[in-house]
Structure 1
Amino acid sequence: MPVTPDELKAAICTAIQVTHVEVEDNSSGCGEKFSVLIISKDFEGKTTLARHKMVNEALKTQIAQIHAFTQKTLTPQQWEDSKGGANAA
């Protein structure tokens, strides 16, 4: 059975305290290629590598069934800063 965006989101929300999560199925519905955006205070003070390890650990069962997985992990402040920059452009 293919992985679903809802399954990924639920696993992320169970393992990490998130303020915002977006899961996009980039595989035309076959469940093999996903990208995620995760905003969490849990990422504060952590390197990008440490953040990605947290997410990979939370999704280890699902990632084993996925062909491609991309993640963007931001703190709430980084998310606000990035939205401000996009609005100013």
Structure 2
Amino acid sequence: MPMQAQEIEDLLRQTFPDAEIRVEGDDGVHMSALVVDESFRGKNRVQQQRAVYAALKGKMDGAQGELHALALTTRAPE
């Protein structure tokens, strides 16, 4: 079952409560997200994106995942 943007944002908000989060996409399968959070400071892009994937709690895991593709933009606040 495809995920809606609000569901993705809600999952991310649990891990990153103070982050700027924007989730876009309307097909529920191929989505994009911007996550700007202080916890990313000093981490490289791979570390930041792993943290976001972990926050999704397995929703992207394997062929049976609810979310097929999530284009991520992550960074610490300026």
TM class by shorter chain equals: 0.7 to 0.9
Give the fraction of aligned pairs with identical amino acids, expressed as a percent. Answer: 26
Unaligned runs of 5+ in 1: 78-89
Aligned to 1:73: 74
CA distance in 2, matches of 1:19, 1:67: 23
**What RMSD over aligned residues (CA atoms) do the two structures have, in Å?**
1.3
Q: Does 1:21 align with 2:18?
A: no
**Aligned to 1:18, what secondary structure does the other structure show?**
coil
CA distance in 2, matches of 1:17, 1:73: 15
Aligned to 2:56: 59
Question: How far apart are 1:17 and its partner, in Å?
Answer: 3.7
Count of residues paired in the alignment: 74
Larger helix proportion of the pair: 1
Question: How far apart are 1:65 and its partner, in Å?
Answer: 1.4
Aligned to 1:42: 39
Q: Quick one: higher RCO (CA 8 Å, sep 6+), 1 or 2? A: 2
Output one character per residue of 1:21-62: Cα deviation in whole Å (capped at 9) or x when no partner: 11001xxx3310010001100101111110001000111332
Larger radius of gyration: 1
**Deviation beyond 6 Å, 4+ runs, structure 1:** none
Q: Is the 8 A contact 2:23 2:32 kept in 1?
A: yes
Unaligned runs of 5+ in 2: none
Question: How far apart are 1:76 and its partner, in Å?
Answer: 0.7
